[in-house]
Amino acid sequence: MQMKSRYFLLSVVFDMKIAVAALQGAFLEHEKILDKLGIDYFEIRKKKDAEKDFDGLILPGGESTTMGKLLNELDLFDILKSKIENGLPVFGTCAGLILLAKEISNDDKRYFGTMDITVRRNAYGRQLGSFGTIDSFGNFEDVPMVFIRAPYIEQAGEGVQILSVVDGKIVAARQNNQLVTAFHPELVGDNTLIHEYFINEIVNQH
């Protein structure tokens, strides 16, 4: 069934708290969307922040090498990785997708590696290859998508549900508690659909 209507936020669990990794990149844009949806959040910048209790984690767009470096140097990596492995709902956009990928086909680095996908970094080339489009996400049509020096998913493992395919490339997927998009839902602030999907279908179900 195709749904054209806006995806309404049905319920936010009382005292739900989302953590936003605020190491580098476009984390404020995610926070603005959470504000719009009336969802409580805080920023992770150091170990003490990561040790708090929270119901979901957002890994924003930015530079994955920078964020990967900071995750290690600020002692956040092990704490967050174990939380994700234990089922913490996590939503990674662009660089966040790269952080979660098990394999990166054109890079030796690996980060959390918790999601059974192989991604290609800067898969559309340099900034001249950045583009915007409108396509479907799961059952939803007409979703605006902005790709900035974006990666795409070359291969997805068995347990991975493919949610968006643009020009033959997988650009959004889910594996249990993990949701990733190669594009930036945080940059189209008036369309909050994908954040609502994350809250409703993943955070609320865990």
Catalytic machinery residues:
94, 184, 186
d(CA 58, CA 87): 14
d(CA 46, CA 198): 24
Cβ(94)–Cβ(150) under 8 Å?
Answer: yes
Residue 107 within binding range of other proteins, rule CB under 8 A = yes
Total binding residues for other proteins by CB under 8 A? 36
Residue 134 within binding range of other proteins, rule CB under 8 A = no
d(CA 172, CA 194): 10
Cβ(134)–Cβ(191) under 8 Å?
Answer: no
| Residue from 9, 18, 19, 23 in contact with other proteins (CB under 8 A) | 23
Per-residue x/- track, 159-178, other proteins (CB under 8 A): --------------------
Residue 128 within binding range of other proteins, rule CB under 8 A = yes
Residue 191 within binding range of other proteins, rule CB under 8 A = no
Residue 121 within binding range of other proteins, rule CB under 8 A = yes
Residue 37 within binding range of other proteins, rule CB under 8 A = no
| Residue from 69, 81, 102, 169 in contact with other proteins (CB under 8 A) | 69
Residues near 93 by beta carbon (within 8 Å), at least 6 away in sequence: 30, 58, 59, 60, 61, 180, 181, 183, 184, 185, 186
Residue 136 within binding range of other proteins, rule CB under 8 A = no
Q: What backbone torsions phi and psi does residue 87 show, to the nearest 5 degrees?
A: 100, 5
DSSP state letter for 5: S
> Which residues contact other proteins (rule: CB under 8 A)?
22-29, 45-46, 61-63, 65-66, 69-70, 73-74, 94-95, 107, 121-122, 125-128, 130-132, 146, 148-149, 184, 187
